Structure formats: structure tokens, C-alpha cells
Amino acid sequence: MDCLLQPVHSAVHLKDEFPPNIPDVEWMQALSGRTEMIIISGDVNISRNLHEVRAWKEAGHTIFFLKHGWTHLPLWEQTAKLFHLFPEILRQAQKAKRGSGFMIPVRGPIEKLLL
């Protein structure tokens, strides 16, 4: 995906920057200085865990969570849907306040989280 977003944007996978199984709080804290990042995560539980929500808010990242159902799609369908949504993800992120969160359903519009 990175080569498709260049030169204006870039995409980096968490596995490229951190060891496997790193606790969410640790990578969020490590990335706290890079507030221009948009995080897209399939781990919706981050939005439900108070300790992780606090770390995310303190880091100031805008996070888009892939709602239940994404993991049941074949890989290429996930990729196509996500890439198709990128312009809207970028629009929402540019308007969002630091630390905002969103849910991306498999079907329908992106939903702003009220936390």
C-alpha cells in the first residue's frame, strides 16, 4: 500500500517498527512524537480498554478501527475496500482533533467514536 500512497503519504506496518507481541501501550507511547500519523487498527479492543485509551489519547494519534467483519473478508477484498476508503479516511483525519477515534464498518460510512 505504501507505494500507492507515495509521495504525499506513506504506510508502515507495526511489524516493521516493533517486535511481535509488543503491548499496545508501549508502541503508542513510542510513537507519541509522531502525531502526524494515522493509525489503522483491527484491534477494536483498544477502544474499550481504559488503560489503552489513555495511552492513545496521551500520544495524540488519530486511530481508525476496522469494525468486526473485516477479518472475515478475504485478504484482497480487505485491501480493495480499505484502499477505496483511503480518501475518506484522510479527509476525516485532517478534520479530526488530536486523539480522535473512528470505526470503519465493512459497509456504511465511517463512524466517529465518542470517548
pTM of the prediction? 0.88
Q: What is the pLDDT of residue 100?
A: 93
Q: What is the pLDDT of residue 5?
A: 67
Q: What's the CA angle centered on 1, arms 93 and 3, to 5 degrees?
A: 105
Mean per-residue pLDDT, 79-89: 92
Mean pLDDT of the chain: 88
Domain coordinates in residue numbering, the chain: 2-112
User: 97 falls in which pLDDT band (50, 70, 90)?
Assistant: very high
Mean per-residue pLDDT, 17-28: 90
User: 72 falls in which pLDDT band (50, 70, 90)?
Assistant: very high
| Full DSSP string of 24-92 | HHHHHHHTTT-TT-EEEES-GGGGG-HHHHHHHHHHT-EEEEE-TTGGGS-HHHHHHHHHHHHHHHHHH
Q: What is the pLDDT of residue 36?
A: 78
Strands 38-41 and 62-66: parallel
pLDDT at 6 over 70: no
